[in-house]
């Protein structure tokens, strides 16, 4: 599916890195791909995230695993639907496929390996907007359906199908934010 990178001009991005240098690198990427507003996480922490209907979180690979998990937890448990289901994108440096899959499994909406062309980046980021995304909610996880990038025939050992979960279908719009289109309880592997 093709995405229009111009939609990013109507979105804001928050950069999260472990130091000012890497934060500036993420902010620079955000500007190059065409976000309407880009700022460091510490700046947005003092402002109202809710001022923008659609917000992206751009995460630098250099922050620790605990900080990555804490950010995902904070975003996914926000009281606002627009924040809770905001795209959280991790940027890695020359990453191997298994490393990228590890972070998909952690719950990132997308994992991008740099270096990459600005046009390719903007197209990839714009894919988070304008079409349906599937999320899963369990007792211990809320985030994108992690099965979307599993290798064929691979089943993650923690997903046994023996627990109830909620399947959510959502649509993101830069003008109006996030809309939950469907919410369906799946009881022990079967839809209810």
Q: Is the Cβ–Cβ distance between 152 and 30 less than 8 Å?
A: no
**For residue 21, what are the CA distances in angstroms to 35, 42, 149, 178?**
20, 14, 31, 31
* CB-CB contact of 174 with 53 (8 Å): yes
Cα–Cα distance between 115 and 121 in angstroms, integer?
Answer: 10
How confident is the model over 38-69, as pLDDT tens digits? 999 887 655 556 677 899 999 999 999 999 99
Look at phi and psi of residue 19 and say left if phi exceeds 0, alpha if psi is from -120 to 50, else beta. beta
Name the band, by pLDDT with cuts 50, 70 and 90, for residue 183.
Answer: very high
Q: Map out the domains of the chain with their CATH numbers.
A: 5-130 (3.40.50.2300), 135-191 (no CATH)
Of residues 3 and 32, the one with the higher pLDDT is: 32
CA distance 33 to 46: 25
Interatomic CA distance for residues 62 and 103, integer angstroms:
13
Residue 140 CA: distances (Å) to CA of 26, 68, 143, 163, 167: 30, 16, 10, 11, 14
Q: Which residue in the block uniquely carries the two structure tokens 């700022």?
A: 39
Q: What is the pLDDT of residue 41?
A: 86
> Which pTM value belongs to this model?
0.87
**pLDDT class for 192, splitting at 50, 70, 90?**
very low
Strand 190-191 and strand 177-187: the pairing is: antiparallel
Q: Are 88 and 71 in contact (CB under 8 A)?
A: yes
Round to the nearest angstrom and report the end-to-end CA distance of the chain.
30
């Amino acid at each position: 599916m093709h995405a229009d990178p111009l939609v990013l001009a109507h979105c804001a991005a928050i950069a999260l890195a472990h130091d000012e240098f890497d934060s500036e690198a993420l902010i620079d990427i955000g500007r190059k791909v065409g976000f309407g507003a880009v700022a460091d996480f510490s700046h947005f922490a003092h402002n109202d995230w809710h001022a923008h209907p659609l917000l992206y979180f751009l995460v630098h690979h250099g922050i620790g695993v605990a900080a990555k998990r804490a950010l995902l937890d904070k975003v996914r448990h926000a009281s606002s639907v627009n924040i809770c289901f905001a795209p959280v994108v991790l940027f890695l440096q020359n990453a191997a496929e298994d490393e990228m899959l590890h972070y998909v499994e952690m719950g990132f909406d997308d994992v991008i390996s740099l270096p990459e062309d600005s046009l390719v980046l903007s197209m990839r980021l714009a894919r988070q907007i304008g079409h349906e995304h599937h999320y899963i909610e369990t007792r211990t996880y809320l985030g994108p359906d992690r099965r979307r990038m599993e290798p064929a025939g691979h089943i993650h050992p923690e997903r046994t199908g023996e627990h109830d979960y909620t399947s959510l279908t959502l649509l993101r719009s830069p003008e109006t934010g996030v809309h939950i289109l469907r919410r369906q309880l799946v009881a022990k592997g079967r839809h209810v």
